[in-house]
Amino acid sequence: MKRKSVLKLFIADCAPLFFMSFLTQVVFFGLLFYLKGIWLEEIFYFSFLVFVILLILFIIRFYKRGRVYEKLLLKSDSLSDYLIQKPRSSFEESFNLMVDNLIMNNNLREIEQKQDKKLQKVMIYRFVHQIKTPLSVLRLTSENLHDTVHYQKIRRNISTIEYDLNQMLDIYRLDDFKNDFVSEKVFLKELCRDTINGLKDYFIASQIYPKLDIDDTIYVYSDSKWLKLVIHQLLTNAIKYSHKGQTVTIRAKREEDKVLLSIMDDGTGIERADLKNIFDLFYVGKNGRNTADSSGIGLYIVKRVVEHLGHDVEVDSKVDEGTTITVRF
């Protein structure tokens, strides 16, 4: 089938040349017949001879160029796949030279892009860490305002800025995932407890109560650092969209050969129209638009990390009833 496609492409390309050759011979022999009175038998003889010579020429041409047409029909993301091994003609050598130049230019462009991205990453890291220093000073200073009405507002806004800065760092860290991944035996209860402790101030300030419902023996094989990032993000979202006095439940269970880790809240829920887009970068649904500190980054990071880890993430939500996000190992 592929050979037929190559032959069709070659014929379509050579058809104008063949037609012009045929037309030239018709005109030439027609003039000879008209001017010199050459017999039809002679015309047929020379026409057949020219046809045979043309046919041999096209066979040789196909032998020398056929593989180029084959490469033109190739669909590959790698430019090196378009190189022709052991070129048969100067035409194929020229084709290889063109592909070599494309590969070289592509490599140079990739190097430049990596350098630009590296510089961008360094600048972002530097910016974030420079901002974190005055934030730490502001946090310590705010301790002196503990008994004032503005204390909680100041602390909440400082925490929001720190959270957004950490999200910015997390997005850039995704590029380094493959070089920073270690598969290990992870006990979910211990990991979730550590994550909850890390968010203790946020739970207290929001007056939301965590509930950990995981058996001590349940474990998965994953990367504890990246998995903790996922759980941290899911808990942060659950707190953000819950109401004061409600509970966020972290539950894990075995289901046949799978382990399911669920983060459940009884908060505002997610609109049905938003469910299919919540993992898109910078997508902010109806609830997010009503929340000033919603960035549309967190769940994108969750989806990317979970996919890199080889797990699945599922969402089940109803408006005003709550949301359950499950990581399936």
The pLDDT of residue 286 is 64
CATH number of 181-328: 3.30.565.10
* Paired sense of beta strands 312-318 and 322-328, if any: antiparallel
Does this model's pTM top 0.75? My answer is no
153-182 burial, b at 16+ Cβ within 10 Å, e below that, comes to eebeebbeebbebbbbebeebeeeeeeeee
pLDDT tens series, the chain, 329 aa: 567 777 777 777 777 777 777 777 767 766 766 666 666 666 677 777 777 877 888 888 888 887 887 888 888 888 888 888 888 888 888 888 998 898 898 888 888 887 777 777 677 767 777 777 777 777 777 777 666 667 767 777 777 777 777 777 777 777 666 666 778 888 988 988 998 888 887 888 788 888 888 888 888 898 888 888 888 888 888 888 888 888 888 998 888 888 898 888 888 888 888 888 888 877 776 665 555 456 677 788 888 888 888 888 888 888 888 888 898 99
Q: Which residues contact 91 (CB under 8 A, 6 or more apart)?
A: 64, 65, 68
pLDDT of residue 297: 77
Helix (H, G, I), strand (E, B) or coil at 22: helix
How high is the pLDDT of residue 288?
Answer: 57
Partners of 254 in the beta sheet? 259
Pure H helices in the chain: 2-36, 40-72, 90-142, 151-173, 188-198, 200-206, 224-240, 272-275, 286-289, 298-309
Domain ranges of the chain: 2-75, 181-328
What is the rounded CA–CA span in Å between residue 14 and residue 61? 10
Return the sign of the alpha-carbon dihedral for residues 263, 269, 272, 276. Answer: negative
